[in-house]
Structure 1
Amino acid sequence: MEFSREQKLGVLLAMGAFFLWGIFPVYLKAVAILPPLELVAHRIVWSWLFVLAMILVLKQLPKLKAHARNPRMMLALTASTLLLAFNWYLFVYAVNTNRVLEASLAYYINPLLNMALGGIFLSERLRPLQWLAVTLAVTGVAVEIAVFGSVPWLALGMAASFALYGLIRKLAPIDSLNGMMIETSMMLIPAGLYIALWGEATFNLLTEEHWALLALFGPISAVPLMMFASAARKIQYTTLGFLQYIGPTLMFLLAVWVYHEPFGQAKMVTFGFIWAGVACFSAYALLRRR
């Protein structure tokens, strides 16, 4: 199967986004002196400042105003904003509480959810191997719940929120930069109020190095998200799901080999089923390529 120039660009953007997300826990560990909710608030404020600067430099204000006057667009972006805020909080919470393995599991499940949503809502026809991949992932989570009595709520919450976010952003006819501007603007006032009212007590804990790292929250958060949103509009959602395995693989390696998180029997079984699903989808992709 030959990719067009636009599709090749989409693949490169997606790979870059997922690589940056895969190593994102390293950055969050460096600023883990702050509690999760405060970190999310900082993430929103610094992201808004960074995206605003890009809007002004690229002279996107007229375009932004046109989107803001579209009621259907604003409704869609309100939904995507809520999903994004929820996802950001769960991810930061997972890293701050030494559960990077749970985040890795979430983003192994997420591409399989992307495939299912693509088949259900976008009329992207799924082949038997793809449906088998989705079934294996569901089975893995079900076994963990039924046999081990462990509900991976953190992983399921992250996976579902980001899959639905990606679906909305794929369907919404807005570019990644302006979409990100509206989303962060919707979250800005609550985030700013939280920092002003409850963040003051932790300010004394922050060194100059911490403030420098927090200032990087803008580009570190916004750039991969805009890359992802742009890629979602250029390539099939099923292809996007396949490329997304880059991120969780990097997180898994960090969790097990760098942060030495426990990899118990329940997680072994769940990951085993999901990796089998990944193998099925990879086999389908290779067959289709041939």
Structure 2
Amino acid sequence: MSANPPAPTRVGGQGAGLLYAVAAYGLWGFLPGFFLLLDPASPWEIVAFRILMSLGFCAILLTVTRGWRTLAGLARQPRVLFTMALAGAFIYVNWQVFVLATLSGHVVEGSLGYFINPVITVALGVIVLRERLRPLQWAAVGISLVAILVIAVGYGAFPWIALALAFSFGFYGFIKKRVGAQVDAVSGLTLETVWLAPVAVVQLIITQATLGLTFGSSGPVHLLLMIATGVITATPLLLFASAARRLPLVALGLTQYLAPVLQFLTGVFLLHEPMPVGRWIGFCLVWAALVLLTVDMIRAARAGRRASLPTA
């Protein structure tokens, strides 16, 4: 009996992992509401401060956790350094498009991007890693393509916001997965924001010259919210990293739908964004594709567990 680990320890670890995952995706789901509170700041000012405040928050975390030596070691590796630069480019596109979508009344289309992100991840596996898809995965990809076409035709506009978010975050996740064993969450985000800091500074200068900056001139609450963009950005990433160490891949994959569901509900019921019939049909097709991916993921996990069992 002593050879088996006690059940409470195992359950407790996974229970904590589930709380971390729900907290991470819940925070990501409520991001549209947070960014709307930053009015009258422009999307360009918000993203620039998001980069700089994230860098400042990461510096504090590195100091508290004594992670500067680890960061310095990673910075001396050119491959890691330039990989993080590429990841930073993709996350910059994701952040900028997401804030632009939120402040221009396209929260629902933004949620569509994160709904189809798992399908994009599967497609990247085929294109980049030459992976072979299982039948249910092929069906999910095909249904998603039909859904995008239906939304484009029914809504009268190509869903470029959704696709930009899905592809940018898909490539970002792909890069982070490739270096995940070598680069921890805080060091990775620090290197990404270091690369993006000059972009943020230039963006602030241009914004000041064209639109004007609101930082420090819109009241103390607005000032504190702008500073908090760093915490709002880094905290979900750290929670997600903690969840990933404790949860099985299937459980972690299922929780990822929480963020786009919250964003969708915010756009439809709080912001009252239009939902014509074509868009409803497209979203239903996307949700059907996600059901197929979920079933396939659960089947694959069960098959893996059966294959790992010792034979008699």
- Shorter-normalised TM-score: what interval? 0.7 to 0.9
Consecutive unaligned residues in structure 2, runs of 5 or more: 1-9, 303-312
Q: Is 1:192 the counterpart of 2:165 in the alignment?
A: no
CA deviations 1:186-212 (Å, max 9, x no partner) are 111221343245338333641111001
Change (3 A) 1:243 1:128: farther
2-structure distance, mates of 1:12, 1:251 = 19
Change (3 A) 1:28 1:160: same
Counterpart amino acid of 1:22? G
Counterpart amino acid of 1:175? D
When the two chains are superposed, the root-mean-square deviation of aligned CA atoms in Å is 2.9
CA deviations 1:202-251 (Å, max 9, x no partner) are 33641111001111111101111233456567778776544321111011
What's 1:53 paired with?
60
Counterpart amino acid of 1:181? T
My pick for the range that moved more, 137-146 or 125-134, is 125-134
My pick for the range that moved more, 145-154 or 72-81, is 145-154
CA deviations 1:116-152 (Å, max 9, x no partner) are 3346656877532233222211111123335665210
CA deviations 1:31-75 (Å, max 9, x no partner) are 031111111001111111111100111111111011001011112
What's 1:97 paired with?
104
What's 1:16 paired with?
23
Q: Is 1:26 the counterpart of 2:33 in the alignment?
A: yes
2-structure distance, mates of 1:71, 1:7 = 36
What's 1:202 paired with?
213
For the 8 Å contact 2:113–2:165, the answer to whether it is kept is: yes
With normalisation by structure 1, the TM-score equals 0.88
The 5-angstrom pairing of residues 192-271 of structure 1 reads: 192-196=201-205, 198-199=207-208, 201-203=212-214, 205-228=217-240, 240-271=252-283
Consecutive unaligned residues in structure 1, runs of 5 or more: none
Task: Please say which structure displays the higher CA radius of gyration.
Answer: 2
User: How many pairs were matched up?
Assistant: 289
Q: Is 1:278 the counterpart of 2:290 in the alignment?
A: yes
With normalisation by structure 2, the TM-score equals 0.82
2-structure distance, mates of 1:170, 1:5 = 26
2-structure distance, mates of 1:176, 1:122 = 24
Structure 1 residue 114 displacement after superposition? 2.1
Change (3 A) 1:169 1:234: farther
For the 8 Å contact 2:45–2:213, the answer to whether it is kept is: no
Structure 1 residue 113 displacement after superposition? 1.5
What's 1:129 paired with?
136
What's 2:305 paired with?
none
1-structure distance, mates of 2:30, 2:15 = 23
What's the % identity of the aligned pairs? 34
Counterpart amino acid of 1:243? T
Change (3 A) 1:12 1:130: farther
Q: Is 1:138 the counterpart of 2:145 in the alignment?
A: yes
Change (3 A) 1:286 1:59: closer
2-structure distance, mates of 1:245, 1:165 = 18
My pick for the range that moved more, 198-207 or 262-271, is 198-207
Change (3 A) 1:99 1:206: same
What's 1:181 paired with?
190
What's 2:69 paired with?
62
What's 2:117 paired with?
110
Structure 1 residue 252 displacement after superposition? 0.7
My pick for the range that moved more, 36-45 or 265-274, is 265-274
Change (3 A) 1:148 1:190: closer
For the 8 Å contact 2:250–2:298, the answer to whether it is kept is: no
